[in-house]
Amino acid sequence: GAGVSQTPSNKVTEKGKYVELRCDPISGHTALYWYRQSLGQGPEFLIYFQGTGAADDSGLPNDRFFAVRPEGSVSTLKIQRTERGDSAVYLCASSLGLGAGEETQYFGPGTRLLVL
Amino acid sequence: AQKITQTQPGMFVQEKEAVTLDCTYDTSDPSYGLFWYKQPSSGEMIFLIYQGSYDQQNATEGRYSLNFQKARKSANLVISASQLGDSAMYFCAMRGFTSGTYKYIFGTGTRLKVLA
């Protein structure tokens, strides 16, 4: 079946602009995660959803970052007033659920964001 | 707080030899899961192997095995019969089950280079 997909694959924007990054999880996966990965680093947790609700958004760096998952499937990560420091690869992952045996995450290819 | 430590920024191994990638962790959660992911130069994170903290046996998955030593809080990945295609970044990750949040913590990764 289809894996996790993310669009766009690359996004170049100017400082101060608004961007939206989309994630389409594996069908039937109820949990969805967003990560940010800077060059040479491991993925850094941002937020995760169980169904439609954000269960833990403690990794969002500030209030310029926001994510939604209105129907429990596709999620959008929104970044307002982008800054050069937001440049990174944004990874999305989904898992069947959150319980034992369901928690293995499968990642999308990422969106490479460059803020000029 | 949870923490993953990968102390080997880079490793070399000769083709067909075995290699061990180190991972130590810290958590106060009595129940947790440990994961290894591979990230080739293409960027996509590929799930390799999982170990639950209460699993009695070390996990194995093809050429991958996890050397889990709970008392030492280590979860080293062993790759047997290395292949050129194994050259990639490898990340160790952890998730707790009882701490009230299901976010994952990743290490900084180890870059493995397989030599012909």
pLDDT tens-digit series, residues A4-26: 999 999 999 999 999 999 999 99
Residue type, position A19, single letter: V
Contact B102 A105 (CB under 8 A): no
Are the beta carbons of A93 and A113 closer than 8 angstroms?
no
The closest alpha carbon to A23, from A46, A42, A41, belongs to A46
Q: What's the pLDDT at A85? A: 96
- A→B interface, C-beta within 8 Å: 31, 33, 35, 40-45, 48, 50, 55-56, 58-59, 89, 91, 93, 98, 100, 103-110, 112
Least confident of A14-18, A28-32, B98-102: B98-102
Contact A106 B47 (CB under 8 A): yes
Contact A44 B106 (CB under 8 A): yes
Write the residue in A48, A50, A109 that is nearest to B43 by C-beta.
A109
Q: What's the pLDDT at B22? A: 98
Are the beta carbons of B32 and B88 closer than 8 angstroms?
no
Which pLDDT band, with edges at 50, 70 and 90, does A1 fall under? low
Q: Which residue has the higher pLDDT, A74 or B55?
A: A74
B38-82 pLDDT tens trace:
999 988 899 999 999 998 899 999 999 999 999 999 999 999 999
Percent of chain A with pLDDT over 70: 99
Contacts of A104 in chain B (CB under 8 A): 35, 47, 50
How confident is the model over A46-68, as a mean pLDDT? 93
Mean pLDDT of chain A: 94
Burial A4-23, CB ≥16 within 10 A → b, else e: bebeeeebebeeeeebebeb
Percent of chain A with pLDDT over 90: 84
Q: What's the pLDDT at A31? A: 94
How confident is the model over A37-41, as a mean pLDDT? 92
Q: What's the pLDDT at A2? A: 84
The closest alpha carbon to B64, from B34, B86, B33, belongs to B86
